[in-house]
Structure 1
Amino acid sequence: MKKTITTKRQGTTISASEHALVYSIVPKDLAGHLYQVTLDIATPDEAGQVVSLPAWIPGSYMVREFARNIVQIKASSDGKKVALKKLDKHSWQAAPCKGPLRISYEVYAWDLSVRAAHLDQSHGFFNGTSVFLSVHGQEMNPHVVDIQRADDAACKTWRVATALPELKARRYGFGTYIAANYDALIDHPVEMGDFALATFDAHGISHDFVVTGKVPNMDMDRIIADVKKICETQIAFFEPRSKKAPMDRYVFMTMVVGEGYGGLEHRASTALICNRNDLPVKHQPEMSDAYRGFLGLCSHEYFHTWNVKRIKPAAFAHYNLRQENYTSLLWIFEGFTSYYDDLMLVRAGVIDEAAYFKLLAKTVNMVTRGSGRTKQSVAESSFDAWTKYYRQDENSPNAIVSYYTKGSLVALGLDLTIRAETAGKKSLDDVMRAMWQKFGRDFYERSLTGKQQGLAETEFESVVEQATGVNVRRFLDKHARGTEDVPLAKLYADFAVLVNEGTANKKASLGVRVVRDGNDCKIANAHEGRAAHLAGLSAQDVLVAINGLRVTAADAGDSLSAALGRYRVGETVQVHAFRRDELLNVSAKLQTDDVPAVSITVQATAKTGSVARPSFQRLVKNK
């Protein structure tokens, strides 16, 4: 194992030497959803080698206890059994041994998501955090992985998709791959199966688009054309002169299911999951809302290649994967990414301005509907992601705010503020490029020497001022560290953009969100201060009847709306509901249906003397 891998862009040399840690992983039991993993440690710690599996995966801020999926584990040296002592929920220590140490274990993989591992007869997928033990004290050594084909007829035509550099494997083939260190190993997910594959270049960098799952008449050519535009727009955004991407190759891995949506970013790839109907169909050129949403997901995860994978909060510069890593800055890393994901669609020419403002209005309305935004700031939401945002319950709309959605509005507000203060000469774009230059461009090169750095908790304001000359402390005190709504109507006024607050829906409402639960119409959320809450109803209550007429389970929301459609706002109705096994009978005074819906439009002409129109065009079109 003397082969050397040299990446062309980053100039990093990875040598597979006698000090490399060697893993093998094979789908052992497709129906049982088991991977067999072996780890060979050439020079184990003489005092007894400690190994552990991460408790969480970067990009998803919740402790998930991946080690719970290890079904059995054992150790040996030169064919002889070595005792393993479990130290805590995810760590083991092998007894001291003189020779090389082999650890063998099985991993149960039945989590169909972007965060963990999944295996059955249709495909295999895993993130390294779910399957690869970390060898304490040797995390900076090269890591070699032998991805093996399963001895099963269902796998004869399977291929491998990953951004890991090949060592002794052909691209898309089974064989050995290599990573510079453990952090790199777990940042390259792997998909294996019979997937659809298309490849395109974006500013000279090869991009693979992989789709696993059945999608009749999928228009792959259209997907590739649109995603290529998005990728090239983002590469040029961060490196407008050189148009140099920070990776040598990129892989989009998309798992198609009947119902699902999500993505997780990695340094040279992303894992996506989407509905079958999200993807375009051949000979249907119209842009559906579902496909537009999928492109937004691709744009979001790709933007993370720069923002959070390389430009990081200081708390993430050196991950501690055994416990929570706290930062109050996720509103910058997720919120700003959420702002730019749709903006990049219109800059790339994939959608038009009208579609962009429709998406923006949807975000504004989503944020405004939750009363939690008046109680929790996006900075607090970021810090509490581990316990609140990623562990939402029935009361979450009344208690928390999303650092994704409100964070994107904070980003927009900052952008408009900077443009107004500088007469359009500077923008949030300049801030993002400044952070890229300072923190991101050489992040992984510096990581090999332990000298990487991230954005400190109190550093963002000075970065903005250095990049633009604008002091944004007051704005952030109000809208990022405070709970005030971003005054978009006021900020947009100078940019020939109208934020129109429509009238509230006049239909009678209980102020709840309901879901179908078996044969029941169950309250999922009871919004604070709304009719149901004031009447004493709660989340998890099962609605039975309104004024003696049954509320059915079929299409729960439609059934409730139909039942309430017989009444006017202000009328009082009798609601029967079950709380556990106890029947409730309450009086509820009906209110209007939720809050006024915002719409956003561009004026035909700007105000006299306004610099807004040219500046606005630069905002949307990047000109």
Structure 2
Amino acid sequence: MKNIFLSILFLVLTANVKAQTNQYSISFENAVHHEAEIKATFPDLAPGTLSVRMGRSSPGRYAIHEFAKNVYNFKATDSNGKLLKIQRPNPYQWDILEHNGEVTISYTLFANRGDGTYAQIDETHAHLNIPATFMYAPALTARDIKVDFKVREDLNWKVATQMQQLSATSFAAPNFQYFMDSPVEISNHAIRQFEVEDNGTTQTIEFVLHHNGTEAALDTYFEQVKKIVLAQRDVFGELPQYDFNKYTFLACYIPNASGDGMEHRNSTILTDTEGLEEGGMKNNIGTVSHEFFHGWNVERIRPQSLEPFNYAQANMSGELWFAEGFTSYYTNFILCRAGIITPAQYVEGITGTFNYVWTSPARQFFNPIEMSYQAPFVDAATSVDPVNRENTFISYYSYGSVLGLALDLSLRQEKLNLDDYMKLVWQNYGKDEIPYTVADLHTTLAQYAGKDFSDQFFNNYIYESGMPDYENLFASVGVVLKQHLDKPYFGASVSVNQFGSGIIQRNPSIGGPAYAAALSSGDVITSINNMPLTQGQSFNEFIEQFKVGDTLTVAYTRYGVPKTTKVVLGANPAYSIHLMEKEGDKPSRKVLKARKAWLKTE
């Protein structure tokens, strides 16, 4: 009798678990026209209205994207197949009335953008970011989820995702948040793997590549991927504990994709139009480095402001200068340490980002925390009205990157380093997944480097917008920072068209010569000092014939009306950055030792 009772109890519990599972399926019969047919069944419902909706944001993105715009042919039925009444309270929600305890919805999805946010369906692949693909029920987010991908066998499609695999085409997620964070690549892709052991646990690093190239090119690329993985593990001392002991790169390098990268808990999306043999071998590897570093920094070292991630509205965080910016600092830094680029390439590659940040007038408006707050307006966000971002915004990726550089070199002057600070943040917050705040980062730096050092860094460069002493910091590792103040500066981006007219492309820089002369975006320059511009001519080269302090008479039209103004050329604020050997100087033994310790090179 006891065994019979236990058997009945097991069956009841099993049936209850099954009843509490939301089940999805997706098929791709009309992939040639970028359509998928999706069904979802929500069983064991309480009486009343069931609301389902499409998400409005996506993991790793911070702006609104309105995925509901690509949904049509929506229907809802009960367990008997009866069509149910539907109401629409807003553009992204469907309210389903008078069900009998179970609802099955179906709809068609149009999807034709292959990147880290959207979905793309065609006869090359089904590239699925979950918020852009599947509806969800806000009241049922604690339930586990099963999804069946009805692949195109005629196209040799296979499924790759971080979700738990139940069969070749069926996968499971423990809850809504995990499901939404689990992108999927369905294609005739290739796979490479290697294993890494930490603390007695062996984990698999898997690289899935959908491309049109050769196996040999993938083999070469995968060797670089392995070097990146191991170099980043050295920063933190260990890999994160991945679910199912596996991390998956989902790379899609095909002409119909869009360039992007997007991190997830145990996987990352990597997309680009360039194949490995068409420039992608060199140009795409930085994205691999950036996104893998996020497996620690942002996925597990997680800002409290992003927990839980809200799929119904934009997510705002003041920590993105660290989560995205410090990750950006390590992106090329790791390529250098791994021997994929040279120290000279790494150092000279800093120049563009450095100039973008430190010559921008935007620091007078926002500090790094406030720049992070701008993410909902800039992170792949769209708007039709003109904005003044050129003067008011610095990307938190770039701003945080050059601050990470400054912190690293500053710590090294104290015989410390950024790697060990990151390890401590990992131990304090990331390893046990305790969400952090800016104040926590400040406190942890004090724990590592002392209160005075931490206060000086945060008070001057995070809570305020001060500029570190980069000339001294660079000199400590044999890097030269220079401004060329003898070069003239106009203060606006000008493109010369086929008619010999100079079009001001963007808002002139606040405080610059063009701004002071009341020139504006869209103005058409017809001559300077009565000299016409020439088709195909570089405007910057034209300006270089003059000297700093020269006054130029600029003839231009605005809205078709001829005008003139006087522009007094300023000194070019841009910096150059290079190893001191480029100027024929030899670093001292002490400086060379410091550089080798920084870059971990021989």
TM-score (norm 2): 0.85
Residues 453-480 of structure 1: CA distance to partner in whole angstroms, max 9, x if unpaired?
A: 3002422111222234454122112111
- Counterpart for residue 560 of structure 1: 539
1:87 pairs with 2:80: no
Residue 81 of structure 1 aligns to a residue whose secondary structure is coil
- Counterpart for residue 271 of structure 2: 273
Matches within 5 A, 1:226-237: 226-237=224-235
What CA distance in whole angstroms lies between the structure 2 residues aligned with 1:559 and 1:399?
27
* Corresponding residue to 1:533 among 507, 515, 530: 515
- Greater fraction helix: 2
38-47 vs 188-197, which deviates more? 188-197
Matches within 5 A, 1:308-347: 308-347=298-337
Matches within 5 A, 1:375-390: 375-387=365-377
What CA distance in whole angstroms lies between the structure 2 residues aligned with 1:519 and 1:64?
40
Pairs aligned (count):
571
Q: 1:513 to 1:397 in 2, by over 3 A?
A: farther
Amino acid at match of 1:572: L
Do 1:314 and 1:457's aligned partners in 2 also have CA atoms closer than 8 Å? no
Do 1:202 and 1:231's aligned partners in 2 also have CA atoms closer than 8 Å? no
What CA distance in whole angstroms lies between the structure 2 residues aligned with 1:517 and 1:26?
49
- Counterpart for residue 203 of structure 2: 205
56-65 vs 361-370, which deviates more? 361-370
Residue 408 of structure 2 aligns to a residue whose secondary structure is helix
1:188 pairs with 2:167: no
Query: CA-atom RMSD, angstroms?
Result: 3.3
Residue 337 of structure 1 aligns to a residue whose secondary structure is helix
Amino acid at match of 1:497: G
- Counterpart for residue 567 of structure 2: 589
* Corresponding residue to 1:460 among 437, 441, 444: 441
Per-residue deviation, 1:218: 7.5
Residues 40-69 of structure 1: CA distance to partner in whole angstroms, max 9, x if unpaired?
A: 111123222222222111211111111222
Per-residue deviation, 1:587: 3.0
Residue 205 of structure 2 aligns to a residue whose secondary structure is strand
- Counterpart for residue 532 of structure 2: 549
Q: 1:207 to 1:543 in 2, by over 3 A?
A: farther
Per-residue deviation, 1:306: 0.9
Greater radius of gyration (CA):
2
Do 2:489 and 2:513's aligned partners in 1 also have CA atoms closer than 8 Å? no
Do 2:357 and 2:399's aligned partners in 1 also have CA atoms closer than 8 Å? yes
Amino acid at match of 2:388: N
- Counterpart for residue 405 of structure 1: 398
What CA distance in whole angstroms lies between the structure 2 residues aligned with 1:245 and 1:237?
17
Residues 108-148 of structure 1: CA distance to partner in whole angstroms, max 9, x if unpaired?
A: 21234321112223322120011122222321221111111
Residues 543-585 of structure 1: CA distance to partner in whole angstroms, max 9, x if unpaired?
A: 5565473654xx6xx5534655666652524333453xx2343
- Counterpart for residue 556 of structure 2: 576
Do 2:300 and 2:431's aligned partners in 1 also have CA atoms closer than 8 Å? yes
What CA distance in whole angstroms lies between the structure 1 residues aligned with 2:488 and 2:437?
48
- Counterpart for residue 110 of structure 1: 112
Amino acid at match of 2:71: I
- Counterpart for residue 599 of structure 2: 620
Do 2:480 and 2:577's aligned partners in 1 also have CA atoms closer than 8 Å? yes
- Counterpart for residue 161 of structure 2: 162
- Counterpart for residue 120 of structure 1: 122
Per-residue deviation, 1:357: 1.2
What CA distance in whole angstroms lies between the structure 2 residues aligned with 1:357 and 1:594?
21
1:361 pairs with 2:372: no
- Counterpart for residue 170 of structure 2: 176
Residue 74 of structure 2 aligns to a residue whose secondary structure is strand
Do 2:144 and 2:175's aligned partners in 1 also have CA atoms closer than 8 Å? yes
Residue 37 of structure 2 aligns to a residue whose secondary structure is strand
Percent of pairs with identical residues: 25
Amino acid at match of 1:50: S
Matches within 5 A, 1:64-79: 64-77=65-78, 78-79=80-81
Matches within 5 A, 1:378-527: 378-387=368-377, 391=381, 395-421=388-414, 424=415, 426-443=416-433, 453-471=434-452, 472-493=454-475, 495-504=476-485, 506=487, 509=490, 511-514=492-495, 522-525=503-506, 526-527=508-509
What CA distance in whole angstroms lies between the structure 1 residues aligned with 2:127 and 2:108?
15
Do 2:205 and 2:246's aligned partners in 1 also have CA atoms closer than 8 Å? no
Q: 1:593 to 1:217 in 2, by over 3 A?
A: farther
Q: 1:614 to 1:112 in 2, by over 3 A?
A: same
Q: 1:99 to 1:513 in 2, by over 3 A?
A: same
Do 2:321 and 2:372's aligned partners in 1 also have CA atoms closer than 8 Å? yes
What CA distance in whole angstroms lies between the structure 2 residues aligned with 1:481 and 1:573?
42
Residue 617 of structure 1 aligns to a residue whose secondary structure is helix
Q: 1:16 to 1:523 in 2, by over 3 A?
A: farther
- Counterpart for residue 27 of structure 2: 26
Do 1:201 and 1:228's aligned partners in 2 also have CA atoms closer than 8 Å? no
In structure 1, runs of 5+ residues without a counterpart are 1-14, 170-174, 282-287, 444-452
Amino acid at match of 1:116: Y
Per-residue deviation, 1:30: 2.6
